[in-house]
A and B are shown apart, each in its own frame.
Chain A
Amino acid sequence: MNVLFFGSLLLYFAAAVLQFIGTLFKKDKVAKIAWLIFLAGLAAQTAYLLVRGVTARRLPLSNQFEFATAFAWGIALMLLIVRLRLKADWLSVAVMPMVFLVLSYAALQPREVTELMPALRSAWFGFHIGSAVFSYSAFIIAGCVGLRYLIVSKKGSADELKLHQMDYLSYRMIALGFLLLTVTILSGALWAEQAWSAFWTWDPKEVWALITWIIYAVYLHLRLRGKRKGTVMAWYAMIAVPVVLFTFAGVNTIMPGLHSYG
Chain B
Amino acid sequence: MKKLWRFLRSMRFGILLLLLIALCSVLGSVIPQGKEIAWYAQTYQQVHGWILLLGLNRVFQSWYFIALLVLLCLNLSLCSLVRIRRVVREGKGEIEQAADWPIQTPLTAEEAERVRTHLRAIRSREENINGVSVWHKNRIGRYGSFITHLSILLVVIFGALALYLPRVTDRSCMPGESLTMEDGTEIYVDAFAIEDESGTLDYNSWIRLTLPDGRESGLKQIKVNYPLSFGNYKIYQQTYGTAGSITVNNLDTGGTDTFSLTDTVFLSADGRDGVWYDALYPGYIESEDGSVTLITSSSGHYTDPVYHITLAAQGEYTPVLAFPGESLTVGNLRYDFNEPVEYPGLRIKYTPGAVNLLLLLSFLLMIAGLYITFFLVPVLVKLDETGCTVGGPKPEGLRMEIELLTRKETDT
Binding site for B on A (CB under 8 A): 115, 118-119, 121-122, 124, 161, 164-165, 168, 172, 175-176, 178-179, 182-183, 186, 189-191, 193-200, 202, 204, 207-208, 210-211, 214-215, 217-218, 221-222, 224-226, 251, 255
Contacts and interface: CB of A to CB of B under 8 A. Distances in A.
Main secondary structure of the interface of B (DSSP, over half): helix
A54 B238 CA distance: 30
A157 B349 CA distance: 65
Nearest to A161: B403
A118 B203 contact: yes
A255 B29 CA distance: 8
B367 A182 contact: yes
Interface string B225-264: 1110000001010100000000000000000000000000
Nearest to B163: A200
Given A121-B202, A175-B375, A197-B166, 10 more contacts: A118-B201, A161-B404, A172-B397, A193-B162, A193-B356, A199-B359, A211-B26, A217-B18, A226-B11, A255-B29
Given A165-B400, A204-B29, A211-B22, A221 B15 contact: yes
Contacts of B21: 210, 214
B18 A218 contact: yes
Interface in B353-382: 356, 359-360, 363, 366-367, 370-371, 373-375
Contacts of A222: 15
B370 A178 contact: yes
A186 B226 contact: no
B396 interface: yes
Contacts of A179: 367, 370-371, 374-375
A138 B226 CA distance: 32
6 shortest A-B CB distances, which residue pairs? Answer: A175-B374, A122-B225, A118-B224, A214-B22, A207-B29, A186-B363
Contacts of A189: 159, 363
Contacts of B363: 186, 189-190
Nearest to B194: A118
Contact of B19 (A198, A202, A218): A218
A204 B29 CA distance: 5
21 contacts: A118-B202, A118-B203, A118-B224, A121-B224, A161-B403, A168-B396, A178-B374, A179-B371, A189-B159, A190-B360, A196-B236, A197-B168, A197-B227, A198-B168, A207-B25, A210-B21, A211-B26, A214-B25, A217-B18, A224-B394, A251-B29
B305 interface: no
A166 to B, nearest CB: 11
Contacts of B400: 161, 164-165, 168
B99 to A, nearest CB: 26
B11 A194 contact: no
Binding site secondary structure of chain A: helix
Nearest to B238: A197
A182 B373 CA distance: 13
B298 interface: no
B60 interface: yes
Given A121-B224, A161-B404, A199-B162, A225 B11 contact: yes
Given A178-B370, A193-B356, A202-B33, A121 B396 contact: no
B123 interface: no
Given A168-B400, A183-B367, A176 B374 contact: yes
B11 A197 contact: no
Given A179-B374, A182-B367, A218-B19, A199 B234 contact: no
Contacts of A199: 159, 162-163, 359
A224 B396 CA distance: 10
Contacts of A182: 366-367, 370
Nearest to B229: A194
Contact of B349 (A183, A197, A211): A197
A164 to B, nearest CB: 6
B167 to A, nearest CB: 11
Nearest to A222: B15
B125 interface: no
Nearest to B160: A200
With a 10 A CB-CB cut-off, give which of B25, B60, B226 has the most chain A CB atoms: B25
A197 B26 contact: no
A224 B11 CA distance: 11
A197 B166 CA distance: 10
A218 to B, nearest CB: 5
Nearest to B145: A224
A202 B28 contact: yes
A197 B347 contact: yes
